[in-house]
Amino acid sequence: MNLRDRIVLNPEVLTGKPVIRGTRIAVEFVVDLLGQGWSETQILDNYPGIKHEDILACLQYASQQLKSERVYPVTA
């Protein structure tokens, strides 16, 4: 899956946060719903503008961001 087909960053939409293409639904919002225990079915029923592939793209985007995160030890 090509994330650019599903996830976009536009400074004029939600101040540039990554969103599902054609919506104002942020990746972080979808990931947060899943983290709160919402099922995919609940998300799709409540937000009919998105599809199963959009939810997968949100998770893939979040995964890529976490993989690129670097943590450096602090020395005292």
**Domain count within the chain:** 1
Torsion over CA of 62, 65, 15 and 35, rounded to 10 degrees? 30
Question: Is 76 a member of any domain?
Answer: no
Domain ranges, residue 54 = 3-19+34-67
Distance CA 62, CA 23 (A): 18
Question: Is 29 a member of any domain?
Answer: no
Question: Is 59 a member of any domain?
Answer: yes
pLDDT score of 76: 74
Distance CA 60, CA 62 (A): 5
Question: Is 24 a member of any domain?
Answer: no
pLDDT score of 70: 86
Question: Is 60 a member of any domain?
Answer: yes
pLDDT score of 64: 94
Question: Is 74 a member of any domain?
Answer: no
Q: What is the pLDDT of residues 17-66, one digit of tens each?
A: 999 999 999 999 999 999 999 999 999 999 999 999 999 999 999 999 99
Q: Which residues pair with 3 in a beta bridge?
A: none
pLDDT score of 71: 84
pLDDT score of 61: 96
Question: Is 10 a member of any domain?
Answer: yes
